[in-house]
Amino acid sequence: MAACAGVPSTDLAEVPVAGVTGVTLDSRAVRPGDLYAALPGARVHGATFAADVRDRGAAAVLTDLEGAALMARAGVALPAVVVPQPRAVLGAVAALVHGSPSEDLTMVGITGTNGKTTTAYLVDSAFRALGHVTGLVGTVETRVADERVKSVRTTPESPDLHALFAVMRERGVDICTMEVSSHALELHRVDPVVYDVAAFTNLSQDHLDFHGTMEAYYAAKAGLFTPQRSRRGVVCVDDEWGRRLAAEATVPVVTVTSLPEVDADWRVEPRAGGDLLFDLVGAGRRMSLRSALPGDFNQLNTAVAALVLAACGVADGDIVRAVLTEPHVPGRMERVRADAADAAGADDAPLAVVDFAHTADAVAAALAALRRQTRGSLVAVLGAGGDRDPGKRRAMGAAAASCADVVLVTDDNPRSEDPAAIRAEVLAGARSVTTGTATDVREVGDRAAAIRAAVALAGPADTVAVLGKGHESGQEVHGTVHPFDDREELLAALTARTTHKESLA
């Protein structure tokens, strides 16, 4: 590979990849034959490690002018592709090296603030029920057929993503469903994938620490609905952002709503028999569906999943049958039961649920869904993450206090911030809406203690909702990730409660 400069992303066929067997942007992961992407970083330029990757057997380097200069000063003589913005061409290069594997898969991409994970699981489980070999890429895990690996981030970096697609192709996967985050779209992680169907669930305040404004956040999501990234789309138009996206998308889209006052191609119409049953009506057709999870928002997630299947050419009858397959969606309205409580009679235990809700809209939606099935009091455990969009913390507290009877404000992932300062903001939001109400707002900093306190407060007719961390198995405090799983802590509290009651009997 000869050195070259200024290779445009639109003419990547000119990038010489002969002899390159892999691509990585992690110098520690370089193997013989790899192309190393030396990108500018927040603290140090990736080209600083050029000597290390040379010694590990790197075949070449993709970098910018600064990186090339660093390599020259260090005396590292590796073939280099030098471009103004290497990250912007990295995905296309990775796809080229791996033989463009995404082109051999049916690709489904799902974006939105809330509901991405649940909708992706619904789509994946439906296709599996129809006999397809599927791949799944998302916040919780990555699946290749029946193999599962815990995810590091919602959308992997482009070299890892295209390598993953290559593995899927080798193992007979024919349909891949992905959560596509706004970060992934902005940082070129999904370049140059063109999704056969893209879906949009909703947009509400989140990630403004990265995007800066809601307008920029929306623009990142909207970029998925262009010919460069998708062929057709499914858009939920329950919020103003969805309605705007439906009007501005430059690929064909079908729309869906649950609001009678909003025009859409398809409409969600609840049926008698509980909030899990509904009809999806549109285009002169009616599909009678069942949501796998409670809440109006999960009816919408199910409706979006059904329309994704329809856009992929699945017949209505097969869609109805396939979406009845209930997926296990870790940390999304996930009920936790103590075995001892089941043996002793679950009537003595409160309904206990863990959910990933970590925006004001998601908190309100989750608690509203639980309220409808709660005969007694609704007890919420809630915190907010550090180093992430501080502007949403008060709104999250206010949403919880507006819906729950008791709110225990606790720590989430404080990261590098002062946990007490984060709690103070959530508390301020919660207390701003409780004047003159009977809502009980308390501060319990230790999350495990807060979960135990919630279970102790709850009676058999009550519901305990632990919100914010969902499937996560760690809690990050000052750079250290401590083992912590809301589901395990909630189970322990329920078990201890049952054991204590049995000892008193």
One-letter amino acid of 358: H
| 51: exposed, middle or buried (Cβ count in 10 Å: 0-12, 13-18, 19+) | middle
pLDDT value at residue 17: 60
Number of domains the chain is built from: 3
Residue 51 three-state SS: helix
Residues 6 or more apart whose CB falls under 8 angstroms from that of 483 comprise 473, 474
Q: Is the dihedral of CA 462, 367, 153, 251 positive or negative?
A: positive
CA angle 263-264-266, nearest 5°? 135
Give all strands (DSSP E) within 14-120, no chain letters: 22-24, 34-37, 60-63, 80-82, 106-111
Distance CA 162, CA 148 (A): 17
Residues 357 and 487 in one domain: yes
Between the CA of residue 122 and those of 118, 146, 197, 304, 319, what are the distances in Å? 6, 16, 15, 9, 11
Q: With respect to residue 328, please indicate whether it lies within any of the assigned structural domains.
A: no
Residues 311 and 432 in one domain: no
Q: At what angle do helices 296-311 and 116-129 cross, to 10 degrees?
A: 50
CATH number of domain containing 356 = 3.90.190.20
pLDDT value at residue 5: 34
Under 8 Å between Cβ of 446 and 409? no
Residues 311 and 173 in one domain: yes
Residue 186 three-state SS: helix
pLDDT value at residue 500: 63
Give Cα 431 distance to the centre of its chain. 30
Residues 301 and 194 in one domain: yes
CATH number of domain containing 133 = 3.40.1190.10
Between the CA of residue 312 and those of 6, 196, 364, 421, what are the distances in Å? 39, 8, 33, 48
* pTM, two decimal places: 0.86
Residues 180 and 149 in one domain: yes
Q: With respect to residue 329, please indicate whether it lies within any of the assigned structural domains.
A: no
Residues 359 and 338 in one domain: yes
Distance CA 86, CA 8 (A): 10
Both tokens assigned to 431 = 């207390």
Tell which residue, 150, 134, 111, has the closest CA to residue 473: 150
Secondary structure element (H or E) that encloses residue 352, with its range: strand 351-355
pLDDT value at residue 8: 32
Distance CA 138, CA 124 (A): 11
pLDDT value at residue 6: 32
Given 97, 122, 153, which residue is the final one in a domain? 97
Given 292, 323, 354, which residue is the final one in a domain? 323
Given 97, 121, 151, which residue is the final one in a domain? 97
Distance CA 382, CA 468 (A): 6
Give the structural domain span for 210. Answer: 101-323
* Max CA distance (Å), the chain: 80
Under 8 Å between Cβ of 244 and 226? no
Tens digit of each residue's pLDDT, the chain (505 residues): 333 333 333 344 445 566 799 999 999 999 999 999 999 998 999 999 999 999 999 999 999 999 999 999 999 999 999 999 999 999 999 999 999 999 999 999 999 999 999 999 999 999 999 999 999 999 999 999 999 999 888 889 999 999 999 999 999 999 999 999 999 999 999 999 999 999 999 998 787 777 789 999 999 999 999 999 999 999 999 999 999 999 999 999 999 999 999 999 999 999 987 768 999 999 999 999 999 888 888 999 999 999 999 999 999 999 999 998 878 888 989 999 987 444 444 558 999 999 999 999 999 999 999 998 899 999 999 999 999 989 999 999 999 999 999 999 999 999 999 999 999 999 999 999 998 899 999 999 999 999 999 999 999 999 999 999 999 999 999 999 999 999 999 999 999 987 766 554 4
pLDDT value at residue 159: 96
Q: 236 - beta bridge partners?
A: 256
